[in-house]
Amino acid sequence: MSLKSIVRDIKDGIGSVSRRGVEGKHWRKCTRSHIAPDVAVCEPVEQGRWANLPPELLLDIVRRVEESETSWPARSVVVYCGSVCKSWRDITKEIVKTPEVCGRLTFPISLKQPGPRDSPIQCFIRRDRATSTYLLYFGLTPSENKRAKLLLAAKKIRRATSTDFVISLLADDFSKASNAYLGKVRSNFLGTKFVIYDSQPPNDVVVQPNSSQRFHTKQVSPRQPPFKYSIATVTYELNVLRTRGPRRMQCIMHTIPISSVQEGGTAPTPTSFPNSDEKRSFVAKGKEPVKVCNASVLSSSLATTPSCEEPVVLKNKAPRWHEQLQCWCLNFKGRVTVASVKNFQLVAAVDPSHNVSAAEQEKVILQFGKIGKDIFTMDYRYPLSAFQAFALCLSSFDTKPACE
């Protein structure tokens, strides 16, 4: 039996088990006439014929599938392997590596893990002005014949004194009560400062809530509201009369220590999402306690040295003035084709005392630019994750009357 036929049988088996479960529930509901006590009934889970494979054979099958299906949508087969049963899921999680190691995105948690060190992960963003949504897709550029893989979605919400970009895993669900909610980006009134919030503590670190937090008076539930963790701050330099050239931005990544860009350093890498019940038990109208996570919190959990407590600071790469074109230019290596005030490249801003090599300082960590009407490219690499990179790019979409 070929590998493709095995995978096809696995997908068909998962679908048939799901359909039989739904049909069985509907039939029992329609035929039973007696009254039963209202108790929870634990229905046995049908594992299927693939659940009892020898571990050696199972390991070989999943490894071959993971190595052969390297790009989306074909890589969805790897996700199917992790959905068969517990034994398949454990083997799949063991074989699939983080984006930093393999350079591929597989599971949703991959969006919170740092990108590869050698080459960037290339994505593009599609803006919908009518719905104020921004969709992040995996791939070089949008294609009419090929359906792109949706990674993240954001919705712009204007308020009286600020603007919020709510980030979700789904393009049609931006509720904070949803398991798809990942975080948000909030700006000040002038659009010069943005704070990026994560819905979970970084690197699975348990952070104690602030007991002095005051809750909203309209909160009607005694349950604890959700916590939002400040993971980064983006600041745009004031440039009211455009006398200072293009935009200048600085990003302080509170959860990434400076050691991550030093030789042999590592960036925080979460391994799973928190329990959905603990993460989502709240009332939407309640205020969210804010907890600022910084590199010192991570250093205690990673047993790092005190010198690593300083966070990484990113700055936009200075463009050069082109005399013939009479405009500011950056080398985007063909990934950006339309001039825009939103275009930027971010590099690490380090001091000589940090002992970071010159090559590492020149390496572009995040690149964002326009290629068409409402279409933008986003290329990111280590130590940023897709979530962090997307949030930084969202700050460029907001109106900045004091910066341009």
DSSP assignment of 29-92:
HHH--S--------PPP---TTTT--HHHHHHHHHHHHHH--STTTTHHHHHHTTS-HHHHHHH
Instruction: Using alpha carbons, select from 55, 61, 120, 118 the residue that is nearest to residue 87.
Output: 55
Alpha-carbon dihedral sign for residues 201, 202, 205, 209: negative
Query: Which pLDDT score is estimated for 401?
Result: 61
Q: Left, alpha or beta for 174 (phi > 0: left; psi -120 to 50: alpha)?
A: alpha
Best mean pLDDT range from 24-28, 133-137, 209-213, 246-250: 133-137
| Whole-angstrom distance, CA of residue 76 vs CA of residue 92 | 12
Query: Which pLDDT score is estimated for 283?
Result: 32
**What would the mean pLDDT of 169-185 be, rounded to a whole number?**
93
Residue pair 96/78 in contact by the 8 Å Cβ criterion: yes
Parallel, antiparallel or unpaired: strands 375-380 and 121-128:
antiparallel
Q: Per DSSP, what are the bridge partners of residue 236?
A: 249
Alpha helices, DSSP H, located in 214-357: 276-280, 295-302
3-state SS assignment for residue 8: helix
Residue pair 67/78 in contact by the 8 Å Cβ criterion: no
Q: With the CA atoms of 380, 383, 385 and 389 taken in that order, what torsion angle do they form, in degrees rounded to the nearest 10?
A: -50
Comparing 38-47, 78-87, 102-111, 361-370, which segment has the lowest mean pLDDT?
38-47
> What digits encode the pLDDT tens for the residues 213-271?
433 434 333 333 456 899 999 999 887 656 566 888 999 999 999 999 988 889 999 98
> What digits encode the pLDDT tens for the residues 307-359?
447 999 999 998 888 888 778 888 999 999 998 889 999 999 988 888 888 88
Task: Output the DSSP codes for 296-337.
Answer: HHHHHHHT--GGGGSEEEEEEPPPEEETTTTEEE---TTS--
